[in-house]
Amino acid sequence: MLNPRRAFARCLAVGLLYLVLLCCTCEARKPAAAEIKAGSRSAGNAAASPAELSLLSGRFVPEKKSGFAAIPAKFTAGKTQYLDKRTLAALAKLAAAAHAAGFDIRVVSATRNFTTQKAIWEQKFNGQRSVGGKNLAATVKDEEKRALEILRFSSMPGTSRHHWGTDMDLHEAKITGPALHNSTFKHGRGKEFHDWLRANGPSFGFCQPYGGDPAVRNEGKFAHGYQEERWHWSYRPVSADYLRDYESNAAALMPKGYAGDKAAAHLYMDYVRNIDPSCR
Ligand SMILES: [Zn+2]
């Protein structure tokens, strides 16, 4: 018969061995931190692939891009527009709720690629399109100052949230004021529509990135930022991830290849980052 003391010691040894084995198994099942980071783009820290950098900087053709789809004609104001498919699905739900509340959403502008944004920028920079009623090429000779005037409402190509397929400029079928004017959304039906979007957009994932005064939007954290844009809305569940990716890959995304880039490009990150905190 076994000595009781020896039997207790043997039990203790077997128990300890079991515990050691159990812990080793737990450790082996835990993924390494590096694996988590590599497997999750939403972590926002990993270096983006060339395909992701192309998307973030708008260097693609929306009609041929996988993951993008045309917005149904009933939601557009004429020209065919494209969106990220997840954003488009959310827009359809937002538009149905708006319709039930008496508003018929129209998308004035959705995905714009680098080429389209470059055309808009250069028309303004070179004076073919007026900015605030002025020909900037004739009236503002200093190129950085001219860029700052354009940057009140327009992005440098390669830096626009419209590249991502998550952002769009909205109007409403029965609003008579001009699209892309804050004044349109400050009185009458325009204000009612904007108030409805502010109250209901967030429950469908939508936020207004450019609200209020850019100098106070983030408590003075950024020296520059776009002016208020009551018409510009973003699908946050996708765009917040893209913003983090943009910030993590900022050096690779410094914009170039357009008129005035040498004088203006260094300003880009303030404009990308100075968005309403509700869109992060
Ligand atoms: Zn916009």
Are the CB atoms for 42 and 242 separated by under 8 Å?
Answer: no
CATH class of the domain defined by 49-279 = alpha beta
pLDDT of residue 44: 52
As given in the structure block, the two tokens for residue 169 are 């400029």
**pTM (two decimals):** 0.83
What are the residues facing 170 on neighbouring strands? Answer: 107
pLDDT of residue 40: 37
| Nearest of 110, 209, 75 to residue 153 by alpha carbon | 209
Examine the pLDDT at 11 and tell me if it is beyond 80.
Answer: no
Give the containing element (helix H, strand E) for 91: helix 85-100
Least confident of 20-24, 80-84, 196-200, 226-230: 20-24
Spacing, Cα 101 to ligand 1 middle (Å): 24
State in Å: Cα 178 to ligand 1 middle.
Answer: 14
**182 CA to centre of ligand 1 in angstroms:** 12
The structural domains of the chain, with segments of one domain joined by +, span 49-279
- Separation of alpha carbons 84 and 249, rounded Å: 21
**Helix (H) or strand (E) segment spanning residue 70:** strand 68-70
- Whole-number Å distance, alpha carbon 167 to ligand 1 midpoint, is 7
Give CA separation, 225 vs 28, 128, 197, in Å.
Answer: 48, 24, 22
Helix axes 188-200, 85-100, angle to 10 degrees: 120
**pLDDT one-digit tens code per residue, 97-145:** 999 999 999 999 999 999 999 999 999 999 999 999 999 999 999 999 9
In angstroms, rounded to a whole number, what is the distance separating the alpha carbons of residues 109 and 251?
28
CA of 153 to the centre of ligand 1 (A): 8
Query: What pLDDT does residue 45 have?
Result: 53
Q: 22-33 burial, b if ≥16 CB within 10 A, otherwise e?
A: eeeeeeeeeeee
Confidence band for 77, pLDDT divided at 50, 70 and 90: confident
CA of residue 210 to ligand 1 center, whole Å:
9
pLDDT of the residue at 163: 98
pLDDT band at 10 (very low <50, low <70, confident <90, very high): low
- pLDDT at position 180 is 95
pLDDT attached to residue 47? 85
Say how many Å lie between the CA of residue 160 and the centre of ligand 1. 8
